[in-house]
Amino acid sequence: MTDLCTPPDASTNTSVDAAAARLLAAHASGTPCAPVRDLIDDLDTAYAVQDRLTEHWLAQGRRLTGRKIGLTSPAVQRQLGVGTPDFGMLFADMAVPDGAEVPTGAVQQARAEAEVALVLEADLTHDRHTVADLLRATAFALPAIEVCGSRVRDWDIAITDTVADNASSGLYVLGTRPVPLRDLDLRLAGMVLERRGEQVSTGAGAACLGHPLTAALWLADTLVRVGRPLRAGDTVLTGALGPMVPVASGDVLEARIDGLGDVRVAFSPDDSDSDSHSHSVKEA
Amino acid sequence: MPGQHTTTPDAAAPEATALAAALDAAALAGRPTARLTDTTPLDVPTAYAVQRAGVDRRCARGESLIGVKMGFTSRAKMAQMGVDDVIWGLLTDAMLVEDGGVLDTGGLIHPRIEPEIAFLLGRPLSGRVTPAEAARAVAGVAVAYEVLDSRYDGFRFTLPDVIADNASAARFGVAAWHHPDRVDLRNLGLTVECDGRPVATGSSAAVLGHPLRSLTAAARLAAEADVVLEPGFVVLAGAATAAVPLPPDAYVRICAAGLGAVEVTTR
């Protein structure tokens, strides 16, 4: 439906268009759509859909600020029947300041998770990166809350659905005290996520592919392969440190990651209709 | 409520002794038994009397009491069991597996392992203590594991059942002790690795928000049971993750941030 990248062949192109159109319509209306897996057969095509959306949004002037890594826990991978993580795009308008209140409907079917964010100070453009490359390229780490969302009705997602849907991304909140990696044991950094003081998720760095840096390395190599490498200034959300939790209006979520500090986000209380479907933020 | 028990309800003693004998037999045989509450109405005080009678049987065989373990220390577990307080079980020296040692799962029914933070007491502790008093009683902290092995069919039980069954306590292991002032216990990452692969990951925050809260709860339960937690006792604060099955012929390592690791090999 929008401007195109180079199509592999006409029929794939048609289905990529159709899937992208369905997801864009869900974004625009704030009403979740049917899954798109009926239109796309494989992971490459799913990423082609995501890329179609990315091009659309970049053309609209949205600024790319980084990437998120998803499916970093063995449990979630098993659930979706995959053996690798996935990734999605982060745009500037998805970033929420620490402690801010966001409209509950800003993300469709919102769910939240606590993560380690890395902020880069160098490009990662090699075919293969070593952990040394990654450590040298990382300016600092921050605690983060990712507010995931799904444009697919009831989160009824297969791997192709979530990949096409920008890895079920929504908003992200970064903490404000940068910590250099040399001061951190990310593997055994404890994580606790609280909702209005009640513990709703706990975990540690090792829950993210064994180590958040392992996930980041996968991302760096993968992005070079697909031609949109990580650049200096990019933020990388490395993946959940514990189970994802649903979000309701009025919630205040605070994540604490040992060594990294804390980060917080609030969701506006709204009237009787607390269902997040009804007031989605429209794409510009 | 788990809190309202006493240890010596003489009237209940004969019944408690008989129920304890049934559970003890199941443990010794390594075969599961039916839930006590399937046939016997059991309240929490009586369940604790059964637990105590069971440990008395162990002590009569030459074992000695060396600590306690706390259970239902996570909100999720409390909600699942429909309770709003912690429970405890009693640990004897026969349950302790040396760090790096071998654990024979052959005698167990359906063992599960969970990562824990352990306290070593340097002073007696009992009663309604403040967090500061609890902290002062601690001589050491360590990463530890507990092996649970419910004596009930299918690991299924009601609250009085599990209390009577000594809170499923079976074995435990503790790493080297660290000075408590050197570690902030609030949010330490813990992992369980089985043959080198992570099988569970969690945070010490899962233990009542802070493991020290579990110690103050232990002191309260001790007072209600009219016992004193003695210097040298080990207090297992509670699980940092859900328990995972413990297979035979496995090398299992439990790590906690800043506390090193405790290892066990199963047969």
Complex confidence, ipTM: 0.87
Contact B205 A256 (CB under 8 A): yes
Residue B29 Cα, gap to closest chain A Cα (Å): 35
pLDDT over 80 at A231, yes or no: yes
Instruction: Kindly state the DSSP code that residue B37 receives in the 8-state scheme.
Output: G
Q: Which residues of B touch A242 (CB under 8 A)?
A: 201-203
Q: What is the pTM of this model?
A: 0.89
Lowest mean pLDDT among A139-143, A271-275, B245-249: A271-275
Confidence class of residue B16 from pLDDT cuts 50, 70 and 90?
very high
In chain A, the percentage of residues whose pLDDT exceeds 70 is: 91
Nearest CA to B50 out of B13, B6, B93, B5 is that of B13
For A55, A265, B3, B216, B237, the CA distances from B212, given in Å and listed in that order, are 52, 28, 18, 7, 8
CA dihedral sign of residues A33, A34, A39, A42: positive
| Chain centroid to CA B30 | 19
pLDDT over 60 at A282, yes or no: no
Under 8 Å between Cβ of B65 and B92:
yes
Q: Give pLDDT, residue A210.
A: 95
Tell me which of B7 and A199 has the higher pLDDT. Answer: A199
Q: Give pLDDT, residue B211.
A: 97
- Give domain limits for chain A: 63-277
Under 8 Å between Cβ of A29 and A278:
no
CA dihedral sign of residues B226, B114, A203, A79: negative
Using one digit for the tens of pLDDT, what is the confidence trace for B55-88?
999 999 999 999 999 999 998 788 888 888 899 9
Give the mean pLDDT of B220-227.
92
In a mutational test of the B interface, the residue from A195, A202, A260 whose CB has the highest number of chain B CBs within 10 Å is: A202
The strand ranges marked E within chain B are 65-71, 87-92, 101-103, 112-121, 138-148, 169-174, 189-194, 197-203, 234-239, 244-245, 251-256, 260-266
Using one digit for the tens of pLDDT, what is the confidence trace for A43-98?
999 999 999 999 999 999 999 999 999 999 998 999 999 999 999 999 999 999 99
Contact A199 B209 (CB under 8 A): yes
Give the mean pLDDT of B163-170.
98
Length of chain B equals: 267
Under 8 Å between Cβ of A20 and A49:
yes
User: What is the token pair recorded at A146?
Assistant: 């990712």
| A144 Cβ under 8 Å from any chain B Cβ | no
Q: Give pLDDT, residue B241.
A: 94
**The domain B9-266: what is its CATH number?**
3.90.850.10
| Separation of alpha carbons B173 and A104, rounded Å | 46
Q: Give pLDDT, residue A275.
A: 44
Smallest Cβ–Cβ distance between B205 and the set A190, A198, A206 belongs to A190
Nearest CA to B135 out of B261, B235, B203, B241 is that of B235
Question: Exposed, middle or buried: residue B91 (CB in 10 Å: 0-12, 13-18, 19+)?
Answer: buried
| Separation of alpha carbons A241 and A193, rounded Å | 10
Q: Give pLDDT, residue B186.
A: 96
Under 8 Å between Cβ of B49 and B9:
yes
The mean of the pLDDT values for chain B is 93
Confidence class of residue A9 from pLDDT cuts 50, 70 and 90?
low
The strand ranges marked E within chain A are 64-70, 86-91, 95-96, 101-102, 111-120, 138-148, 171-174, 190-195, 198-204, 235-240, 245-246, 252-257, 261-267
Please report, in angstroms and rounded to a whole number, the separation of the first and last CA atoms in chain A: 17
Q: Give pLDDT, residue B7.
A: 45
In degrees rounded to 5, what are phi and psi of residue A235?
A: -105, 135
Q: Which residues of A touch B188 (CB under 8 A)?
A: 188, 190, 258
Confidence class of residue B6 from pLDDT cuts 50, 70 and 90?
very low
pLDDT over 90 at B5, yes or no: no
Under 8 Å between Cβ of A192 and A202:
yes
Tell me which of B77 and A157 has the higher pLDDT. Answer: A157
Lowest mean pLDDT among A9-23, A158-172, B28-42, B155-169: A9-23
| Chain centroid to CA B200 | 18
Under 8 Å between Cβ of A167 and A157:
no
**The domain A63-277: what is its CATH number?**
3.90.850.10
pLDDT over 50 at A277, yes or no: no
Q: Give pLDDT, residue A10.
A: 61
Give the mean pLDDT of A120-126.
98
Contact A190 B189 (CB under 8 A): yes
Q: Give pLDDT, residue B213.
A: 96
B223 Cβ partners below 8 Å, 6+ apart? B126, B127, B128
The mean of the pLDDT values for chain A is 92
Angle at A177 between CA A171 and CA A182, to 5 degrees: 110
Contact A188 B240 (CB under 8 A): no
Confidence class of residue B11 from pLDDT cuts 50, 70 and 90?
very low
In a mutational test of the B interface, the residue from A186, A188, A191 whose CB has the highest number of chain B CBs within 10 Å is: A188
Using one digit for the tens of pLDDT, what is the confidence trace for B98-126?
999 999 999 999 999 999 999 999 999 99
pLDDT over 70 at B3, yes or no: no
Q: Give pLDDT, residue B10.
A: 47
pLDDT over 80 at A8, yes or no: no
For A202, A255, B107, the CA distances from A267, given in Å and listed in that order, are 21, 14, 52
Under 8 Å between Cβ of B237 and B86:
no
Using one digit for the tens of pLDDT, what is the confidence trace for A194-203?
998 899 999 9
| A192 Cβ under 8 Å from any chain B Cβ | yes
